[in-house]
Amino acid sequence: MEAVGFDEYLAALLQAPRPRTGALAFYDHRVGRICTDQRLLFLPLDDHLCLRGDGLFESLACRNRVIFALDDHLARLREGAAALRLEPPCPWDFLRERIVDTARASGKDDCGLRVLLGRGPGGFGIAPAECPVSSLYIVALESAPPRPEALTRGLSAFTSAVPPKQPYLARIKSNNYLPNVFMAQEAAERGMDVAVAFDERGRMCEAAIASVGIVDAGGALICPPPERILAGTSMRAALAAAERRGMSALRRDVTREDIASAREMLLFTSASLCLSITSFDGAPVGDGKPGPAAALLREEVLRAMIRGGTTF
């Protein structure tokens, strides 16, 4: 096969087949523009974000033209960037403005957002010094509400065979998500919804892309302590919402025995906020139906996030 030049390669690139990603708008800081044609949604192969997983990302939800918990997500991104010794290619206030601009450019009242901060292009080795300038990508995506059966029947969950990440990685929302991919594959192979990781001492950690908690027999919301899990923004919002509604809200170890005696088991995500897990390891949780705490917290978190969100 003969090598081709710029014009011929670019024409072939734009005609190359690709699955529909649902991208509505995206921003690449190298280009300095927001684009609405997903044919141009590309990442340099030498960006260590994709080559080495050397980078971070955040997933945000927008409803009614409001971005949920934007500053909480940015705070977590800054903490991760400090841990990786990774500076964004622009001031943080500028980054925040581009997130809002990209959400607006989606043309939708409801959408999802992905913010990716990478080491940047510059080499095919492993040393961060190969990459002179970090990369920033922001993508607005089509969003879909939770499947109706997730609300009416709840979700099925099981103990994952994949161990949780070590503490120094667990608290960073890095682009290195291979364990999470394995957990998602487990769930698909078993025909179930959620794989939940437990540590070597049998303590519950988190799901592949979500935080997990329980409502115990006394009606308290209990979520795992922060040592082996990501600081989930939706989980933190649910803990605060529980306290506002007069529930006890605790961070402590959760075991399989705690799940067996729980009234409810809950899944917290940016998109769905709070969903019921109604079976775990083949046994019903509580009465095996979505419980009142899940609905209460989902509504309370939604109200709080719209009230305190960032309008675009």
Domain extents for the chain?
Answer: 6-141, 148-311
Question: Which DSSP string do the residues of 167-193 spell out, in sequence order?
Answer: HHHHTS-BS--HHHHHHHHHHHHHT-S
Q: What is the pLDDT of residues 121-136, one digit of tens each?
A: 999 999 999 999 999 9
Q: How many CA atoms lie within 13 A of 13 on its CB side?
A: 12
The CA–CA distances, whole Å, from 10 to 39, 158, 190 equal 11, 46, 42
Contacts of 119 by beta carbon, 8 Å cutoff, 6+ apart: 47, 48, 49, 52, 54, 55, 86, 128, 131, 134, 135
Q: Quick one: CA torsion of 215, 216, 218, 224, rounded to 10 degrees? A: -90
Residue indicated by tokens 């500028």: 94
Structural domain 148-311, CATH architecture: Alpha-Beta Barrel (3.20)
CA angle 79, 160, 218 (to 5 degrees): 80
Q: What is the pLDDT along the chain (312 residues), one digit of tens a residue?
A: 999 999 999 999 999 998 888 999 999 999 999 999 999 999 999 999 999 999 999 999 999 999 999 999 999 999 999 999 999 999 999 999 999 999 999 999 999 999 999 999 999 999 999 999 999 999 999 998 888 888 899 999 999 999 999 999 999 999 999 999 999 999 999 999 999 999 999 999 999 999 999 999 999 999 999 999 999 999 999 999 999 999 999 999 999 999 999 999 999 999 999 999 999 999 999 999 999 999 999 999 999 999 999 999
Euclidean distance between CA atoms 117 and 53, whole angstroms? 11
Q: What per-residue confidence (pLDDT) applies to 149?
A: 84
Helix (H, G, I), strand (E, B) or coil at 76: helix
Contacts of 106 by beta carbon, 8 Å cutoff, 6+ apart: 24, 25, 62, 140
DSSP class of residue 285 equals S
Q: Given 3-state DSSP classes, what are the helix, strand and coil percentages for the chain, each rounded to the nearest 5?
A: 35, 25, 40
Cα-Cα-Cα-Cα dihedral sign, residues 104, 106, 108, 110: negative
Structure tokens at 273: 């906020």
Contacts of 290 by beta carbon, 8 Å cutoff, 6+ apart: 151, 152, 153, 154, 275, 276, 278
Euclidean distance between CA atoms 122 and 108, whole angstroms? 35
Q: What per-residue confidence (pLDDT) applies to 18?
A: 87
Q: What per-residue confidence (pLDDT) applies to 146?
A: 81
Q: What per-residue confidence (pLDDT) applies to 154?
A: 97
Q: What is the pLDDT of residues 67-115, one digit of tens each?
A: 999 999 999 999 999 999 999 999 999 999 999 999 999 999 999 999 9
Asked if 139 and 26 count as a contact pair (C-beta separation under 8 A), the reply is yes
Q: What is the CATH code for 6-141?
A: 3.30.470.10
Helix (H, G, I), strand (E, B) or coil at 28: strand
Beta-strand ranges (E) seen in the chain are 23-28, 33-35, 55-63, 66-67, 111-118, 135-141, 155-159, 194-198, 204-207, 211-215, 221-223, 249-251, 264-268, 275-280, 283-284, 310-311
Residue 236's H or E segment, with its range, is helix 233-244
The CA–CA distances, whole Å, from 61 to 98, 145, 214 equal 15, 11, 23
